[in-house]
Every structure is written in structure tokens, then in C-alpha cells.
Amino acid sequence: MKSIRGLADRYSHWVLLMPFLVFFTLFILLPVIFAVLLSFTRYDSIQSPVFVGLQNYLDIFTHDTVFMQKVLPNTATYALIVGPGGYILSFLLAWVIAQMPRIPRTVLAIVLYSPSLLGSVALSTIWGVLFSGDRMGYLNNILYSLGLINEPVAWLTSAQTLLPIMIFVGLWSSMGVGFLAMLAGILNVNAELYEAAYLDGVKNRIQEIYYVTIPLIRPQMLFGAIMALVNTFNSPGLGVALSGSNPTPDYAGQLIVNHMDDYGFLRYEMGYAAALSVVLLTFVWIMSKAAYRMFEDRD
Amino acid sequence: MKCCIKIGPERFHADQIKFFIMISPFAAVMLLPIIYVVFHAFKPVDELFAFPPRFITLRPSLENFTRLLHTANSSNYPAALYIFNSILSTLLTVVATLLISASAGYVLSKKEFKGKRLIMNMNQAALMFVPVAVAVPRYMIIKGLGLMDSFLSHIFPLLAMPVGLFLVKQFIDQVPSSLLEAARIDGCSDYGVLFRIVMPIIKPALATVAILSFQSAWNSVEASQMFIENEKLKTFAYYMTTVTSPSGSSVAGQGMAAAAVLIMVVPNIILFIIMQSRVMNTVAHSGIK
């Protein structure tokens, strides 16, 4: 008994770290490794996997016309607008409310933050009703009464409008924890540094943001960028939930994640789905490298 | 120049009006859909069917909520069961995540040992981890562990939370090591230091992690959709997908869906409002250097 206690004390750091490491390995590290391994196989979840080399990747980029014509452009458009767009919006809104006294600032922070609390299910319910395709839909009703349309528009099932709506909803819910971090960062900048900067020739608020605020809160900017990135890719069900079908109508709202679900859980082509997830992880990784490049402390 | 640098001002000043004007369209766009859901959830049936649709509810009623709670879905279980499952799994997830993150954060912040750098780098890389990207292998791991159709499959996949560990570790970095040394000299073990000294000091960070963990557990449909077949064990977020998607276009269904959204969102917002000053205090240390 005594020796067990002795050991527990001597290796306390490993004892305390162990639960995290176990769950981290099981549900984050191993899944990524498995995805990579599986991506080199053909696997239908019943028979054992067959090694096929780079065949899945070749298929993705040469045979999968849906991927090349719809999924890839959709994902790129969505990610490049919602990721950086939501991030810049978060920073600007954080900066604007940082100019206000405490009470309105806190209220507005809560208001701006609250959409990010909704999961994709709640998101698609709210916006599904607002954009609903019959005359009862709010948007249709407003446009109709303004005389802008004669027929109700099927916003969520039409190939032209689904992706823009997804982007809008993505931006709407992008003021998450990164936004709060940047707000806290802006509020913590020492006022004397601004005074010094104005003495050194900073002339207006835009220069002030560029030369003083951003460099000083660079660590929070980087954290915010990573959070924006994760948030962008982590609301997978949006297009499917809004339109009510996977695949989405004419693949208009199909993102890599939906394509993956389609192959993995509807067609049971697990190897192919795994190759798609490796492509997605690579995509996220490249974007996060770009964020590090921009904001990492260079000295 | 001169006086005009007023970030985080003490009181209102006419100069600030332009910022209020700038922010108001954004605040409106953020808030209106949420207000609309609140109104919608309390509309009685005849108002739901009103044409043209009206934003405001004239005679608020709890009809939608009672219908939601009593209407069984296709498998004959009432919503109350799903709500209970959600509360239980969320509670367990939050408590376990707090313990796991606090103990790992303490070790990574205040202890020196072999392999520490590697673990910290892995966690930092995992900040950008997107769980949905590896849905297929996660499914295989759950299956391999024999957790299919088990209530634990709601909880286990959410416990390692890189952002949570990161925030807690950054926060513990601010706690002076001398304080912990003093406790050790008084005969406290590492466990004692963690539970008696570190945990109370880092309450703001723990509150923040609790909120983030609550959010991911409360909104999660992963386990109910993929790991669990037994209807009795599924969660409310999953139940919502069954209320909203098939009947999404029917107007009566919309009232229930709005009530369901409220049940999903209100706990999140209330928690955040209660803890917002602690959250701000924590994320101020969130920078990645």
C-alpha cells in the first residue's frame, strides 16, 4: 500500500496527465492515423481492407467529377469566405465594441457571441424557417409584399441560392471564442502605448489598428484565426440540414464533409471516405500554416 | 491625438455614438433571428397559420412546448426522455472534462519532465482538429472499444478537449510557482496542490472550459446518429433533427421546432451570461505565442 502511494507521488505528473493522454490518443490521434492508413485501402466495413496504394487519391482527383466540379469549388468558396471573412468581421466588431463603456460593451458582446452557441441543428432550424420556400417563409413574404417577386422562391432547394445562404449563416455564427479572445486582447492593451504611438506619428485610427493594436495582440489574433478555421469546417451538417437532403440539390451545397458522409455512411466506401478526410485535414493544415505565418512571433 | 485614445472607456461620451451606429446593423442581424424564434415558440396554432406571417406573438401560449414534450416521435419516446439523456450526458462530460483538463494543465504548466514539449506541441496542433473530418475512424474506434450502443459513447469522444487544456494551461502559467512550492514544503502532494490550491485559483478558466464543453456536449448529435441505435439512449439535439427535418415545411411543426431551438439555446446563453466576466478574464490569456 505504502509503495503504491510512493509510486503515485513519484510519477504524479504521469498519473495526472494519463486521462487526457488516453482520450486524446483514442479520439484525436488514432483517428487521424487511421484515416491516413485507411485512405490507402479499399474497405467496405465487412470484408477486411485491401491495399490499393494511391488509387483513392487518384480517383478523387481524376474520376470523381462531383468532387472536382462541385465539392471542391463549394468547399473552397465557403471556406475562403467564411474563414477569413468571419475572422476579419470578428476582429472589426470586437474593436468597435471595445470603444464603448462596459455595460453596452458587455451586452453587445453577448448579442454578437450568441449565434455561435447554436449547433448546426438549431442553426438550420432557425434559418430554415426564415428562408422557407413557400409563401409562409419570412423572406418570401417580405419580398412579396414589397412587390419584388411574384412567385415564392425556393431558397433552400435551389442550386443558385443554397451556397450563398450557407455562407451567410456561416458568417452569422462566426463570432465565437476567437472573437472574445480578440476583444479581451484589445481591451488589455496598455493605453500609454497608444499615446506613445501618436507621439511617434500615428495619425488616425486605421494606422493605430495597423501599427499598434494588431502587433500587440498578435497572440490573440493567432488564437482567433485558429478558432475561426475550426469553426468554418466544423459545421458540416449545414447544407444538408438546410436543404433536407444528402446529397444537396444538384450538389449545390455539398462540402467535403458531406461528400465524406455520403461515401462513408451511405455507400460504405470507407477507404475512399478516409482519403477525403485526409484531403480535408490537409486543407485545414495549410490554412492554419498560413495563419501561423502571419501572426507568429518572429523573434 | 491627445485625449482621443479611449479603448475600454469608463463612461459614455458623444464621440462613441458613431460606434453605436456602426454596430447596430450587425447587432440587429444577430439578434432578430433569435428574437423571432422566441416569438415563434410561444405562438398558438392559429397565429402560426396567420397569413401574412406576423413577427410578434399576440397571445403567447405554451402550446408548442407541451406538444413538443408530449408528442412522441416515430419510436414512441417522449421528448422528456431525450432531454433527460442530454442533461445527464452533458453533466458527466463537463465534470470529467474539467478534471481531465485541470490535472493535465497543471502538469504541463508547472512540471518538468521528458516528453512534455512533445505533448504540448501535439495539443497545439490539435487546436485545429476538426472532429467531423475523422468521423469514419472514430466510428471504427468506438466499435473496436465495444462502445456501440453505450451511453458512454456520448461522453468519451468529447473528453479530450485541446482548446480546454490550452486555456487552462495558459491560465495556470499566471499562477506564481512560489505559491505552489510553499504548499509542497508544507507537505502537500501534487494531488493536494492541484485540488486545494490550483483548482480554486483557476476557477475563471474552469468556468470557460465548462462553457465550451457544455456547448459541444449539449449540441452534439455525433453519438446519437452514428454510435447508438437504441432510441432510449439518444439525446435531445438528435431528437430535434427528427422533429425539424421531416416536418420542417409544415407550419405546425415549425412552432414545435422553435420551441425545441429555445430549449437547445437558452441554457447556453444563460451560462454564458452568468460566466461572461470569467470567460473574458480567461481568454485574455489565450494568445498563441
Per-residue pLDDT of chain B (289 residues; tens, 9 = 90+): 444 557 888 888 888 899 999 999 999 999 988 888 888 889 887 887 777 777 788 888 888 888 887 765 666 777 888 999 999 999 999 999 999 999 999 999 999 999 999 999 999 999 988 888 888 899 989 999 999 999 999 999 999 999 999 999 999 999 999 999 998 888 888 899 999 999 999 999 999 999 999 999 999 888 998 899 998 999 998 888 777 654 444 566 778 888 888 988 899 999 999 999 999 999 988 888 7
Q: Match domain B87-235+276-283 to its CATH number in 1.10.10.10, 3.40.50.720, 1.10.3720.10, 3.40.47.10.
A: 1.10.3720.10
Q: Match domain A39-295 to its CATH number in 2.40.50.220, 1.10.3720.10, 3.20.20.10, 3.40.190.10.
A: 1.10.3720.10
- Please report which helix (H) or strand (E) contains residue A41, including its range: strand A41-42
Question: What are the DSSP calls for B201-232, one per residue?
Answer: HTHHHHHHHHHHHHHHHHT--HIIIII---GG
From residue A57, alpha-carbon distances to A61, A275, B64 in Å are: 6, 6, 49
C-alpha cell at B144: 473496436
CA–CA distance, B260 with B65 (Å, rounded to integer): 8
Q: If phi over 0 gives left and psi between -120 and 50 gives alpha, with beta otherwise, what is residue A250?
A: left
For residue A1, what pLDDT band results from cuts at 50, 70 and 90?
Answer: low
A258 vs B76, which has greater pLDDT? Answer: A258
3-class SS of residue B72: strand
Q: Please report the pLDDT score of residue A239 as a whole number.
A: 82
Answer yes or no: do A184 and B138 touch at CB < 8 A.
no
The pTM score is: 0.90
C-alpha cell at B52: 401574412
**Which chain A residues touch B221 with a CB distance below 8 Å?**
119, 121, 237
A-B CB pairs within 8 A amount to: 310
CA–CA distance, A36 with A40 (Å, rounded to integer): 7
Output the average pLDDT for chain A: 89
Q: Which ipTM was obtained for this model?
A: 0.90
From residue A269, alpha-carbon distances to A49, A141, B50, B128, B205 in Å are: 10, 43, 47, 26, 42
Answer yes or no: do A119 and B220 touch at CB < 8 A.
yes
Residue A99 contacts residue B6 (beta carbons within 8 Å): yes
Across A195-216, average pLDDT: 90
- Asked if B212 has any chain A CB less than 8 Å from its own CB, the reply is yes
Residue B201 contacts residue B105 (beta carbons within 8 Å): no
**Chain A residue closest in CA terms to B240:** A121
**Chain A residue closest in CA terms to B193:** A12
Across A55-61, average pLDDT: 94
| Residue carrying C-alpha cell 512571433 | A297
Q: Please report the pLDDT score of residue A143 as a whole number.
A: 84
CA–CA distance, A6 with B205 (Å, rounded to integer): 31
**Which chain B residues touch A106 with a CB distance below 8 Å?**
276
Q: Please report the pLDDT score of residue B116 as a whole number.
A: 94
Domain boundaries, chain A: 1-28, 39-295
Domain boundaries, chain B: 87-235+276-283
By mean pLDDT, which of A42-51, A90-99, A143-152, B227-236 is the weakest?
A143-152
Query: Of the candidates B100, B237, B283, which has its C-beta nearest A177's C-beta?
Result: B283
Q: Please report the pLDDT score of residue B173 as a whole number.
A: 93
**Which chain B residues touch A264 with a CB distance below 8 Å?**
135-136
CA–CA distance, B102 with B98 (Å, rounded to integer): 6
3-state secondary structure A76-129: HHHHHHHHHHHHHHHHHHHHHHHCCCHHHHHHHHHHHHHHHHCCHHHHHHHHHH
Q: Please report the pLDDT score of residue A299 as a whole number.
A: 52
Answer yes or no: do A244 and B212 touch at CB < 8 A.
no
CA–CA distance, B199 with A60 (Å, rounded to integer): 49
C-alpha cell at B126: 490539435
End-to-end CA distance of chain B: 31
Exposure pattern of A1-40 as b/e (b: 16+ CB <10 Å)? eeeeeeeeeeebbebbbebbbebbebbbbbbbebbbebbb
**Which chain A residues touch B159 with a CB distance below 8 Å?**
19, 23, 27
B91 vs A242, which has greater pLDDT? Answer: B91
Q: Please report the pLDDT score of residue B246 as a whole number.
A: 42
